[in-house]
Amino acid sequence: MKRKLASMLVLLMVLSFSLSAAAAFVPPGLAKKGGLPPGIQKRFLDGIIVEEDKDQEEDQEIISKGYSATIERIDVNNRRIMIEEGTAYLYLLVDKDAKIELDEKTSKFEDLRVKDEVYLKLNKENTVIEITGKSIGERESIIREAVVKTIDYRRREITLQHNNREALYEVHQDAVIEINGIKKEWRDIEVGMKVDVKVKEGVISEIKAVNKITRYEGRLISKYTGTNPTITLRINNEDREFNVKRDVDLSKLGVGSIVVIQVENNVVIRAAEK
């Protein structure tokens, strides 16, 4: 009898231990269902919240900085602007309450123009909440590799040819003039020069010319108007012969007169009596 009681007692102890172990065991997936003890769960969530706060602070720092861009396209109906970012284009929504200032004046979305240079601020949804910058009407534009067609030194006017279009411009009194990187005067600019200019509202503020055309002045000693026309000029008591481009009219040049010629690649491209 005693043996039976002892055996039953041992069996009860084994069963009790097994039940305790089973109670401490957390089945897989229980933690996902909120089965973690409250203290551990709080510490775990606190860790996530701290990390999220750090990410939000970093995002907010990026957002607060904003960045500069040039507007490449505008969708007025959908309040979107397209800008270039590296090798990609971004199509950004502009918030209906976005703060917009152009040329230091409060403006509307409808006032934006393609090629406006702007500074954008975005929220965490990548929606534009602020735009500041200069409108294209107030900015200086740069015309590159234009050709000087006509010059009026007295009126300070110049006609430039660019992309098969000729246009007349005024040259500002204080315009910066450079030829081959050297500062020059307004009257040093000549017809035929290739120039890069800065223009604002039709007025040129800077001219940078590359003079591949050389100007000579001298007395015409002789001229030949045959198949390969040539002229001879006496320059500083030295006679120099020049080949002449076939479309240059030599008939108006009198032998013995003082003439001015323009030479490109050792060929006369323009000639006139002084």
The domain spanning residue 73 has which CATH number? 2.40.50.320
> Exposed, middle or buried: residue 109 (CB in 10 Å: 0-12, 13-18, 19+)?
middle
The percent of residues above 70 in pLDDT, for the chain, comes to: 74
* pLDDT tens per residue across span 59-101: 444 344 577 888 888 888 899 999 887 778 888 999 999 999 9
Segment (H or E) for 81: strand 80-85
> Domain span at residue 262?
213-273
34 assigned to some structural domain? no
Query: 159 and 99, same structural domain?
Result: no
Query: 226 and 205, same structural domain?
Result: no
Split into its structural domains, the chain has a count of: 3
Query: 106 and 120, same structural domain?
Result: yes
CB 220 within 8 A of CB 251: no
pTM (predicted TM-score) = 0.38
42 assigned to some structural domain? no
Phi/psi at 75 (nearest 5 deg)? -110, 95
Per-residue confidence band for 57, with pLDDT thresholds at 50, 70 and 90: very low
* pLDDT tens per residue across span 170-207: 999 999 999 888 899 999 998 888 899 998 877 899 99
Count of C-beta atoms within a 10 Å radius of residue 69: 20
Query: 259 and 243, same structural domain?
Result: yes
The gap from C-alpha 128 to its chain's centroid, in whole angstroms, comes to 20
Of 117, 134, 151, the residue at which a domain comes to its end is 134
Instruction: Give the HSE-up count for residue 100: Cα atoms under 13 Å, Cβ half-sphere.
Output: 17
Query: 179 and 202, same structural domain?
Result: yes
- All residues at 6 or more sequence positions from 196 whose CB lies less than 8 Å from its CB, including other chains: 142, 143, 144, 145, 146, 207, 208, 209
Count of C-beta atoms within a 10 Å radius of residue 176: 13
Query: 197 and 176, same structural domain?
Result: yes
Query: 193 and 147, same structural domain?
Result: yes
Of 88, 110, 134, the residue at which a domain comes to its end is 134
Of 161, 190, 210, the residue at which a domain comes to its end is 210
The domain spanning residue 232 has which CATH number? 2.40.50.140
Distance between CA atoms of 116 and 107, rounded to whole angstroms? 13
Count of C-beta atoms within a 10 Å radius of residue 222: 13
Question: Which has more confidence, 35 or 10?
Answer: 10
